[in-house]
Amino acid sequence: MSDENYLQALCAGDTQRIRSIYQQYAGQIQRWVEDNNGSAADAQDLFQDGLIAIYDRYCGSDFQLSSSFGALLFGICKRKWFDRLKEKNRETVVRKVEEERYSDDHDPSMESEAAFQELQKQETLTKTFALLSAQCQQLLTLLGQGVAAEQIATQLSIANANAVYQSKHRCMGRWKELFSSSSKS
């Protein structure tokens, strides 16, 4: 299957073809993670995060895949793993891995770094969104699904469409605050 096909499968959520992405790359990534102080479960998490990062950056956006799908996926997984090791403060391990990092020429650094950053952003959006009130979450979700403001007003017992937008602005404002304070820390 071609790289373009892998990407399409991911964007479309095509289970059968997503399986073949795993088939193709899971073993390679698991071996790398296990060589670098991780478990099979770690590898599974990383692999999943890698795919989600690609989804976040390339599905429904104008970005084009310029490196190979496998190299990109591997690049993101590595980047994420360095990050997790640092979090765990296992310095010796990081140092050891770091050497490999710089001698590694497979890593399409720029592209995987961008996808990794996108993933981080989406995770922060997810976390801070969950801190909004239930009413805000419902209202924003419905708007995001393209439900008309009038209908949302009826559904959430809000006076009218205008008030729905007023609430939206309040909720978005709050969300922006939470996002900014969360990305600073």
Partner 1 sequence: MNNTEKIDRFLRNELPEEEKKAFEAELNQNADLAGELALQKDMEQFLRKQEKRTALKNQLNSIGPEFFQAAVKPEPGRIVPLQRRQTLRWVIGLAAAIALLLVARFVFSPSLYDQFGQHPPLAMIEKSNATQDNLAAMEAAFNQKNYTAALPLLQAYVREKPGDLQAELYLGICLLETGQYADARAVFTKISQTQSSFMDFGQWYLALSYLKEGDKAACRRVLLELPEESEFFQKAQDLLKRV
> Which positions lie near partner 1, rule CB under 8 A?
10, 13, 15, 18-19, 22-23, 26-27, 30-31, 34, 40-41, 43-44, 47-48, 51-52, 55-56, 59-60, 90-93, 96, 121-122, 125-127, 129-137, 140-141, 143-146, 165, 168-176, 178-179
- The CB-of-72 to partner 1 minimum distance in angstroms stands at 16
Nearer to partner 1, 108 or 164 (CB): 164
- The CB-of-109 to partner 1 minimum distance in angstroms stands at 23
Nearer to partner 1, 107 or 118 (CB): 118
Strands (E), the chain: none
- The CB-of-130 to partner 1 minimum distance in angstroms stands at 5
Nearer to partner 1, 14 or 113 (CB): 14
- The CB-of-145 to partner 1 minimum distance in angstroms stands at 7
SS3 64: coil
Tokens 């790359």 found at: 25
> In whole angstroms, what is the distance from residue 64 CA to residue 146 CA?
26
Residue 88, Cβ density class (10 Å: 0-12 exposed, 13-18 middle, ≥19 buried): exposed
Give the contacts of 20 (CB within 8 A, at least 6 positions apart): 1, 6, 9
SS3 62: coil
Q: How many CB atoms lie within 10 A of CB 38?
A: 19
**Residue 70 half-sphere exposure toward CB, CA atoms < 13 A:** 13
Tokens 């924003």 found at: 140
- The CB-of-51 to partner 1 minimum distance in angstroms stands at 6
Nearer to partner 1, 135 or 160 (CB): 135
Nearer to partner 1, 82 or 129 (CB): 129
